[in-house]
Structure 1
């Protein structure tokens, strides 16, 4: 049985918009705003922290809104909100409007990430979900790369030009993701109040690992460019190149993870991914040569969408396709809380240490703890059915 890629395009568009633009476009745009003296570094830190708080709120409220207004309607409104928000950032390029705009875009982005992939994957047979997830989550890397490239191309122009370029791209993505959504079953409430999701040891282990990953990847997704440019002294242009390499990794990450899952199974592929991610995040805590930074950026960039894809498909294994949308809402919300806690903690750490490098080592340690959680909760505490691969 094959799945037409056209049916997967809405999910691809949702991840591209929900994380690639609503979340990760802020990294190059904020650096540009600081350079143009429209915002300060302190402004950026404040906005970023509240973006992650908004992401958590959006993730936890997505299913309730979908139940009330319909999942497809909510998704379409999220596309519109993010598209308009990107343009408004160039028109009202001061702290308060940017703060409000990014807060609202983060709310919408989280809802897209909860509802979009879940709607597509739950409509497919299990044997096709790995391939489909690989394609859908490629949108994350593509969004990262395109946002960075567009900002770099028009960096010398006024900020409104940058915002207009992002707006036009987002408008095209909105058109791409507007149609062909599958019929969505109404969100139901189980006895636990979470759409029938049962909190088994396996699901709890996956939640813990995903939350720890949210903390661990903060240094690469927030500090990588400035770490390269300022702390290592390679300059802003090289810092931008490292972000582009991160995005290139993101494009191939989900498809590579899909191959990994097909070859090694859901559990082992997840353990291999999180172990590799721990190594290459922590590597920058000890090595500072440019080739090492580039390799780390590429591998971690690949494992951002790759790990999300593996977690999403493993969630299906553990809770069943009928509970995926509700379970993915919980997963995304917990991830968002991890991001907020991680960003706040690492910001405090940076103020104390005045160096980024130790934060990468800390990130690697948190990722390693996530690997430990996966092994303990799923391999040792979860009963394995005979004849069923882990």
Structure 2
């Protein structure tokens, strides 16, 4: 085996810097901007910043913003360049933490939670298509897992950092999160790729669709539907898990914080484990097995007792960040050209964000209408995941 040349070493270093920038982006915009809110819910209610119903709708605001960001991310990237949009969205997410340190009104808080979601959606659409074309094809699976590992690190960090910051008070907690986001934004600022890869040559409209194109189209439609149902299935634990343990099970905030830390441990492990599954089993088969495990775990959450919570939290925590590289691997299986992959991934993210936002609003309504009962939400989530499995089985029969 020949030693790496001096020309390849700077290129490898640049690739790792690009991956580091992607990791920072997913950590700030999703890992912290979304998931750090979950362990804050009981404190927001107990400190009388907002009533229970308002806190739930503020959580849904981030999900609605995520949908907006997923819709505008690709057009903004074409107009301004992907690296510039990614930097701007990191600044928006960082500012949202500082703005939320002052609960001036429900509307003020809602707008900033919405903006943080917009930043997350735009980053999710653009980050992979910005970084992965600069990574050797043989290593894109590992690179994808490393980029979205930031989500897991943010979840785990929120489970340990937020309780520590809460000792100083809610306002200082938001300011502390903003400081962390500012440091990560600054650290990644010059690590983004400076050039865009050349777009693939478009296929003429007059050319008939090849059989493999039709097959990939069917595969993508199945993936979009499954990805949307996955979004529906992950919302209850993502938003309500800490509140469920602390108030629903009356286990207290310390047990709830420990459960959220275990959720974060699962989130750290998820991207790499799911990526390895895709490499060994293929993305579609991996999605099937992951859905089965998650449907059982989320369903068990509604009837479990405290001793089982920690193990379930690890399993369920692996799901939100783990399915991202898994779905991306499926897109790469179905589409071979970079431009087609970017378009397909953008549509997949929009499907995910749409159902996530709708599910966030629906779960909030159900939760408030039921008088604050969490179990119904977990049952609905489990049924959504089972439906995603049924779609895959139906597609196999039709094929």
Same fold (TM over 0.5): yes
Distance in 2 between the 1:133 and 1:171 partners? 23
Aligned to 2:260: 243
SS of the residue 1:122 aligns to: helix
Aligned to 1:213: 230
The question of 1:74 aligning with 2:85 is answered yes
Task: Return the match for 2:354 from 325, 329, 337.
Answer: 337
Cα deviation for residue 146 of structure 1 reads 1.3
Task: Return the match for 1:164 from 172, 175, 191.
Answer: 175
Give the RMSD, CA atoms, in angstroms: 2.4
- The question of whether the paired residues in 1 share the 8 Å contact of 2:49 and 2:103 is answered with no
SS of the residue 2:100 aligns to: helix
How many aligned positions are there? 377
- The question of whether the paired residues in 2 share the 8 Å contact of 1:63 and 1:187 is answered with no
Aligned to 1:301: 317
Distance in 2 between the 1:92 and 1:361 partners? 33
Structure 1: state its 5+ residue gaps: 383-390
Aligned to 1:358: 376
Aligned to 1:15: 26
Alignment of 1:17-96 (within 5 A): 17-96=28-107
Alignment of 1:87-166 (within 5 A): 87-166=98-177
- The question of whether the paired residues in 2 share the 8 Å contact of 1:10 and 1:178 is answered with yes
SS of the residue 1:200 aligns to: helix
Distance 1:304 1:245, change over 3 A: same
- The question of whether the paired residues in 2 share the 8 Å contact of 1:129 and 1:313 is answered with no
Deviations along 1:191-233, one digit per CA (max 9) or x if unpaired, are 89xxxx9871100000000000111111111111111112212
Cα deviation for residue 115 of structure 1 reads 0.3
Distance in 1 between the 2:190 and 2:239 partners? 33
Aligned to 1:388: none
SS of the residue 1:77 aligns to: helix
Cα deviation for residue 81 of structure 1 reads 0.9
Deviations along 1:257-278, one digit per CA (max 9) or x if unpaired, are 1221222222212211121111
Cα deviation for residue 347 of structure 1 reads 2.4
Cα deviation for residue 327 of structure 1 reads 1.9
Task: Return the match for 2:287 from 270, 274, 285.
Answer: 270
What is the TM-score when the length of structure 1 is the normalising length?
0.90
Deviations along 1:74-132, one digit per CA (max 9) or x if unpaired, are 00000111111111211455422211111111111110111012222233343212111
Cα deviation for residue 190 of structure 1 reads 8.1
Distance 1:176 1:331, change over 3 A: farther
Structure 2: state its 5+ residue gaps: 206-212
Distance in 1 between the 2:65 and 2:25 partners? 18
Alignment of 1:246-261 (within 5 A): 246-261=263-278
SS of the residue 1:322 aligns to: helix
- The question of whether the paired residues in 2 share the 8 Å contact of 1:59 and 1:111 is answered with yes
Distance in 2 between the 1:224 and 1:308 partners? 21
Task: Return the match for 1:180 from 184, 191, 198.
Answer: 191
After superposing the two structures, state which structure 1 stretch, 68-77 or 231-240, moved more: 231-240
Aligned to 1:367: 385
